[in-house]
A and B are shown apart, each in its own frame.
Chain A
Amino acid sequence: MGRRGGGMNTLLLIFCAIALIGGLYAGFARDPYAKLIAIGIIAGGVMPLIIARGYVDVAAALALIIPLSTIFVLQLCKKGAA
């Protein structure tokens, strides 16, 4: 097992807080674009938590899948659509 210093734990706590803040903001935001930005914050906050355990391939796959899903959702909130 790798040696975990205090800096590593602080970093992971910061990113846990970022993911929580993004989730709360996605819940309370009214603008659909602000909701998409909050989903981007959640994805970015989760990514170092995956990296810190060493699942690099999972992180690379997520980094491809998450922007694609955001762009699919983005088709629904175009101006003039619906």
Chain B
Amino acid sequence: MEDSEMSIDGTEDLLGLISGPFSSSYISPPSESAELAALMCGLIALYAVIRIILEQDVMRKLPFLNVFSFAVSGIMALLIPHPLGIIAAATYFIGSTFESNAIASTWAGGVEE
């Protein structure tokens, strides 16, 4: 009986070891205040998505796409307290701003030649 419990615990430890960086001792899971801030960012993102869908003009959709991507990059920085998480959040921030600016520039006609 005790032996089987020991083997089950060992399997869970192995699964926890390979499932992600949260199981390592280098990264602690986010605290309560970080979870609350991430939840606020999620509500802002949901509001931005609803506004994107309800707006009719493309030019009015794009600022709310920017708001949405700022909220998502804030969540990415809050959930992973690790330098690699900050790098991923900065990459998403730069890439999504670049994307929405490219859409706006192409919609407006691009550079005049």
Question: A-side interface residues toward B, CB under 8 Å?
Answer: 1-3, 5, 7-8, 10-11, 14-15, 17-18, 21-22, 25, 31, 33-34, 36-37, 40-41, 43-45, 47-48, 51-57, 59-60, 63-64, 66-67, 70-71, 74, 77-79
A-B contact pairs, 12 of them (CB 8 A): A11-B38, A14-B46, A34-B58, A37-B61, A41-B52, A54-B80, A57-B84, A57-B88, A60-B91, A63-B92, A66-B95, A71-B99
Given contacts A1-B23, A56-B88, contact A63 B95 (CB under 8 A): yes
Contact A54 B20 (CB under 8 A): yes
- Which residue of chain A has the shortest Cβ distance to B82 in the bound complex? A56
Given contacts A5-B35, A47-B92, A55-B20, contact A33 B58 (CB under 8 A): yes
Determine chain B's interface SS by DSSP, over half rule.
Answer: helix
Contacts of A63 in B (CB 8 A): 88, 91-92, 95-96
Residues on A with C-beta less than 8 A from B45 are: 14-15, 18, 44
Partner of A44, one of B16, B30, B39, B96: B96
Contact present for A7 and B80 (CB under 8 Å): no
Q: Are B61 and A18 in contact (CB under 8 A)?
A: no
- With both chains docked as a complex, state the minimum distance between the C-beta of A28 and any C-beta of chain B, in angstroms: 10
